A and B are shown apart, each in its own frame.
Chain A
Amino acid sequence: MNRSFSWKKGFFLLFLILFVLGFPRLVDAYFLHLAVTFFLAMILASSWDILARTGQVSVGQAGLFGIGAYTAAILFNRIHLSPVLGMVAGAMVSVLVAALLGYLTLRLRGIYFSITTIAFAEALSVIWLMTPGFTGGAMGLSTPPLFGGDRQQAYYLILGILALTVAAVWLIQSTRLNFAFTAIRENEEVANVMGINPTRYKVLAFMVSAFFTGFAGGFYSHYNTYIIPYEVFGLGISIACLVMPIFGGLYTITGPILGTIIVKVIEEYLRVTVSYGHQIAYGLILVLVVLFMPEGVVGLWRNKISPLFRPASR
């Protein structure tokens, strides 16, 4: 693969990295908190995109998020598992659940897959409400503040996970996985006849996506100190997972990141102006994107489909 390395790009990236690393020292608690929520959202957006690359449009990522959140919270409360290990555990459990779900939904195409994922998240919500002994039910579960309230540590942790997520996306995009995922997404039957095992790659995508979504959930439960089923299994999370990458530009690295920033800024603004219903922006954005810019923000500025190989000469 020929990637031409541009100095401008390198410089920009370096500056970005330094800025992001030094950010906590520059700002106060509010912006630090904001950054954490932004990073969390970016993880959700990027991991949703990973799954979407195989044509599996999940509207139920909240199911995996909630599992991650509750695994961490329950393990902490019962066996005092340290928060970070709890997050890892949350990620692992999500991966297992996703593997199972992915396997079961292999034959589902398009909308039917999506409907099943919605049902999945809602079913979990009901199960959680009905088993308060184990899950805390509608009252939710509490955990003490993460790192004793040290927001800076939380910031670096979530930044690290975001970096891992982006690395995973980059890996997928720059290896033959990209071809497999794209082929399956565009035409699963033909991809199969061309030698691609759809099961392997679809389930793999689900598992990788679940790892990061689950981890994010685990992080959220400790960071937020309190979780309830209605929230962590809620439609709002599932919708957030998909609006940001769709708006920013699907199947790219920068799309989900960029989309998250813009959408989150709008959401934060709305959150202070209206007490409920601030997700109205999500709905509006989805409608407008489908109607007017199906390629997302990244697509707008690229203005054409970009080949998977970057050719040495044009």
Chain B
Amino acid sequence: MNLEFAGAIHESPLRGSAVIPMSLLEVKNLTKHFGGLAAVQGVNFAIGRGEIVSLIGPNGAGKTTIFNLLSGVYTPDQGEVRLDGEDLVGRRPFEICRRGMGRTFQIMQPFPHMTVLENVATSGLFGRAPKASMKKVEEEARELCRWVGLGEKAGMFPRNLPVADQKRIEIARALAIKPKLLLLDEVMSGLTPTETAEAIKLVRQLRERGMTIFLIEHVMKVVMGISDRVIVLHHGEKISEGPPRQVAHDSKVIEAYLGEEMENSEEPSC
């Protein structure tokens, strides 16, 4: 497989390291209000090249809002967002996409009247800078479909495909833009244990190829298993950050979850 991802850097993974590495993404004082409510308030964090960082928090904590702020769907009221040194605040989503930020959506939204291949080709055609020829994009789209496990289904329409495959479309679509940073929004939810294991494998393979990944996840087992670092959000504020084990034992985090999710992650899996 000769897939190249932009921004690939051959450094050893920084798993378990407490040192903040050279940052691909820098977020300072990120704030967003809706009406009178602060959905996200004063959030600071950084993500280094090649890291896998998870964003967790109870429902309504503001995680998807952060993704929307990063990808330009919302404009921050305050704060800075820098990708590879470039300031992203105020830029429109398609510009941010072309600067190397790819994302999936929590509620899967493939284009219904396009085949799987066409869905992936669309972002390949428009999301990359510089633009590539149709032929090249089609080839790469096919390759991507194969790589995520949709090789035979490339000609099918998304609505006929099961949940796991639709998630694959989302991922392939995001990868087609050759992102520097990949935002995965709850790709593991709704998957069977087998599918979850496959998804984890995929995320690891992505990192091996140099991809930097920022993921929102509810499935604690996954979070503990693949993250270099975990950021915890509660009521729009960051309440904890660090390696998975450290965060899991942080009393603030446990309090925030009221013990629910944490207990679930300790239970033996079936």
Using a CB–CB distance below 8 Å, which chain A residues touch chain B?
1, 175-176, 179-180, 182-183, 186-187, 189-198, 305, 307-309, 311, 314
Contacts and interface: CB of A to CB of B under 8 A. Distances in A.
A186 B97 contact: no
A183 B121 CA distance: 11
B157 interface: yes
A179 B93 contact: no
Interface stretch (B79-87, B103-111, B199-207, B248-256): B103-111
B126 A194 contact: yes
B94 A195 contact: yes
Contacts of A196: 94, 122, 126-127
A9 to B, nearest CB: 22
Interface in B69-101: 71-73, 92-94, 97-98
Interface stretch (B28-36, B40-48, B112-120, B221-229): B112-120
Nearest to B118: A308
Given A187-B111, A192-B97, A194-B126, 18 more contacts: A176-B126, A179-B114, A179-B122, A179-B125, A180-B126, A182-B113, A183-B122, A191-B122, A192-B72, A192-B73, A193-B94, A195-B98, A195-B127, A195-B128, A197-B94, A307-B155, A309-B115, A309-B138
Given A193-B97, A195-B97, A195-B123, A179 B109 contact: no
Contacts of A179: 114, 118, 121-122, 125-126
Contact of A194 (B117, B138, B173): B173
A203 to B, nearest CB: 14
Contact of A183 (B73, B111, B117): B111
Contacts of A309: 115, 117-118, 138
Contacts of B55: none
Contacts of A195: 94, 97-98, 123, 126-128, 177
Contact of B112 (A186, A191, A308, A314): A186
Interface of B: 71-73, 92-94, 97-98, 103, 105, 109, 111-115, 117-118, 121-123, 125-128, 134, 138, 155, 157, 173, 177
A180 B125 CA distance: 9
B74 to A, nearest CB: 11
B105 A190 contact: yes
A182 B115 CA distance: 12
B21 to A, nearest CB: 27
Nearest to B117: A309
Contacts of B122: 179-180, 182-183, 191, 194, 196
Given A194-B177, A195-B126, A305 B157 contact: yes
A307 B113 CA distance: 8
A311 B121 CA distance: 14
B112 A194 contact: no
A171 B239 CA distance: 54
A268 to B, nearest CB: 34
A309 B122 CA distance: 12
A305 B94 contact: no
B111 A193 contact: no
A179 B115 CA distance: 11
B71, B72, B123 — most chain A CB neighbours (10 Å)? B123
A307 B115 contact: yes
A211 B134 CA distance: 28
Contacts of A191: 111, 122
A131 to B, nearest CB: 39
7 contacts: A176-B126, A176-B134, A187-B111, A192-B73, A194-B173, A195-B126, A309-B118
A72 to B, nearest CB: 38
A305 B122 CA distance: 18
Nearest to B71: A193
Task: Give the 9 A-B residue pairs with the shortest CB-CB distance, closest first.
Answer: A195-B127, A195-B126, A194-B123, A195-B97, A192-B93, A186-B111, A193-B93, A196-B126, A179-B122
Contacts of A180: 122, 125-126
B128 A305 contact: no
Contacts of B112: 186
A179 B123 CA distance: 9
Contacts of B71: 193
B105, B115, B125, B127 — most chain A CB neighbours (10 Å)? B125
Contact of B103 (A193, A307, A311, A314): A193
